[in-house]
Structures are given as C-alpha cells and as structure tokens.
Structure 1
C-alpha cells in the first residue's frame, strides 16, 4: 500500500498544480508586432511584441495557457488550418477565409514597396515591368498584385519568392546586392527593421498598395475556436476601455490603430 501511495504521489507531482486549456499560437518575425530572439527560436525576452502582450493580457487571466510556436508563414497557415495549431498571427480575412475570425482586429497593416532607387515609385502594376520584385511566399497583397506574382513566378527576372523566418534579411541582402530591385513588405515591420540596421536612408519606401485589418485567427478544425474568438474580442474591448491597450502600445512607440 505504501508503495502504491508513493507512486501516486510521484505521478501527481509530475504535473503542474493547475493546468488549464492551452492555446497554441503560431508566431514569426514581425517586430514590433511579434519580436523573436536573435536565434529565431522563440520570443524576445524583454519586448516580445505588442501582439503577444495583448494576448497575454487577455487569455491567461481567464484561465487559458498560451503557447507560442515559431513557424514560417506558409507552414503556419497549413498547421492552423489542419488543427495542429489553435491560432495564427496574423492574417487578413482574405488570406484565410475559412478560419474563425474575432470581431475585433489586432492591427491595421499596410503593404509597401522598398527600393534603393529614389527615382522609382509604385504607380500600379505597369510600373513593375522593369523591376525584379522580392516577396514572402504565402502573403496575400491584393488580387491584381497576387495575379502578377503568380503569372511571373517562374521568371526570376520578374519576381523572386523567399521563404522562412528571416525573409527580411534575405530580401534586404538581395536588394543591396542587386539581385532584386524592389521588395514588398508590411510597412511598420520593415521601417522598424531598416532603422535597427541603419538602412533607413539606403532603402526607401516607394509607394503602397493598401492597408488591411489583421487578426488573431483561429483554426476551423476546432469547435472551441468560436469561443476563443469571442473571448479575444471581449478582452480587447476591455483593454481599450481600461487604457491598458494604450499602455501596451506605448512600450513600442505606437498608438491605437483606430485613433
């Protein structure tokens, strides 16, 4: 009997005293939205990004654990769709129309072109005719640009896709080496990256194609996704009402995207 009791105590001590439901969320490098460590293996310790701060202010106080999993964008979409992950940060609705979206968005993001050539500006698809465009595979921009990229994807003198977590490093290096002449990426993330690397004078923004609401989107494969989406929306509204959202954003030098 003593042996059995000791075994039970040992087994119980192997588990945490309390373990709530765990929400597995994909992340990649989108600082100041999501900031990874230098190894790209997990979140930066001091400032993990305002997405993470918001989510951590919503779900753990309501009894949910959040586990952040580093994934390249295309793989993150696949794993969230299949149910291997519970949520993804952060698609527009057009990028994953079958996912479960909250009523509240998490950001207002703009896609812009970057180049070394200060005489070039994006003025519609025809202005790309003499350019070599770099982009991250899996991103949705708009119907016209998406069609242009698909149409020319096998022509490296027109477009070049990159993959993986260090996509900004790759496209920056390609641009500086002359292997591409322009790349398209999210504006706040790229501006932050260029400033950190002392390249905000060498690489310039040269026009944008538009802005979209971005979301914490939940897997269509899980019944609880609708509940998670509702919790997120009510939690974000409370953060906005209480002023905590402004406090979180101010840590990254940002303001509420609705202001």
Structure 2
C-alpha cells in the first residue's frame, strides 16, 4: 500500500511539473555574430545573447524557442504586438518609450568607427559632413542618432558597410566591435582595406519586450528575475568565459 501511494505521489508530481512547464517564443537577430546569429539550418540562434537568455529563463522554469530573422522585421513584429520580444536593442531616444525593458542589461558591447586602412584616428565629431554607413533597423547611441550633421548611408548588413567602405562608396562605417573583427577575420580582402579608427561608445544591450503584446510586461519581469539569478549563481560568468574562449 505504501509503495502504491509513493508511485501515485510521484506520478502526481510529474504531472504537475509537466503542466507548469512553459515555453515562449522570442525573435532574435539572425546576422549579428558573435552576439546573435542564425544556425546553418536557420532554425535556431547561436551566440552570447541566446545563451544568456536561455539560461535566465531556464532558471525560472521557462524554455525559450528562438525565431531567427533580420533585425528590421524582428523589431517590427514587436512594434505591432505580434511578437513578445526581440533582441538585442539599445535604450536610446528612439526606443526608451517604445518598448518595455528589463533593468539589468543583457550584456555590454563596444561600438566602433571603421575607416579606410590609411585613415587617422577619429571621433564622432569628425564624422560631421561625411557619408557614414549604418545598418538598416539597427539601434545606435543617442549621441550618434541626434547628430544630424552626420550623413547616414543605410545598408542591409554590417558586412555590406565594410564592403562599401572598402570600395570607397562611403567615408566611414559604424559597427559593433566584435562583429567588425569577425567580418574582417572572415574576409581577408576587407582586412587589407579597412580598420577600426575610433570608438563610439560602450553600451548596454537588452531584449525589448512589446508594449502591445498581452504578456510583454509579464515576461520582462520574469526575465529580469532570471537574469539576476544566473548572475548571482555564477552561470552568467561561465557563459561569458565560454564566449571569450570561442572568440580565440
């Protein structure tokens, strides 16, 4: 009889656990290696951001399924409330009132100015009056987007900015540092023509949760709790360490 009760209790526990398990869907940038990029079969995401997000939600008993897509579409679906959230996003003058954000940053990254191989060091002020490549739909620091004297040349990808820079179609390009380094490493022909010539800023990146989605606020709060949990228990530090190893 005792054995029967134990088996019944175990089955009940399994049933409750299965019933309480959650799976959510998030949009993610498909072409921003090494931070976030689509796998070869385009069915999942890989990189620092999805690793952190998976771990944070897992700590709260939630499984995340990622949908890779171009960043412009990623943001548009969140704007319309069709998707719960998109990553990775800056909080700036254009986004701060448009989305729901978790207080603790997902991670921090550095943004650089790239120029021709013979260029001298420059700052944002030096870009005034120059044609500067930016990527369609990407978020940039307020100091950059509010300087109307900088002539922006919009392109589909960060790699396309490098290509236009190398061919002389633009004067400079703004790229995230590790992404720029990877593009140059993977394309020796560009490395001989383009280099980083200045630093724009070091910025915090976030998941932007939808204000129009019924669960936006709920999962923004859950993610914040999960992010704090993995920071406190050491999981976050291990993910960072593994990420740094993968860059070598």
Shift of 1:106: 0.7
Count of aligned pairs: 225
CA deviations on 1:182-229 (whole Å, 9 max, x unpaired) are: 211111221232223335554211112222211112111123222212
Q: Which residue in the other structure is 2:162 paired with? A: 172
Distance 1:127 1:23, change over 3 A: closer
Q: How does 1:5-44 map to 2 (within 5 A)?
A: 20-38=22-40, 41-43=42-44
TM-score (norm 2): 0.78
List, as ranges, runs of 4+ consecutive aligned residues in structure 1 with deviation greater than 4 Å.
Answer: none
Q: 1:175 to 1:218 in 2, by over 3 A?
A: same
Task: Report if the CA contact (8 A) 1:109-1:186 is conserved.
Answer: yes
Instruction: State the distance in 2 between where 1:196 and 1:171 align.
Output: 15
Gaps of 5+ in 2: 1-17
TM-score under structure 1 length normalisation: 0.75
**CA distance, structure 2, for counterparts of residue 84 and residue 29 of structure 1:** 21
Structure with higher strand content: 2
- Extract unaligned runs of 5+ from structure 1: 1-16, 153-157, 255-259
Q: RMSD of aligned C-alpha atoms?
A: 2.7
For 2:184 and 2:40, the matched residues in 1 are separated by: 16
8 Å contact kept, 1:110–1:212: yes
Residues 1:201 and 1:73: Cα distance change in structure 2 (over 3 Å)? same
After TM superposition, the structure 1 = structure 2 runs for residues 57-68 of structure 1, keeping only pairs within 5 Å, are: 57-60=55-58, 62-68=60-66
Query: Per-residue CA shift, 1:38-70, capped at 9, x if unaligned?
Result: 57x3446xxx10111111112245343322122
Structure 1 residue 113: Cα displacement: 0.8
User: Match of 2:105?
Assistant: 105
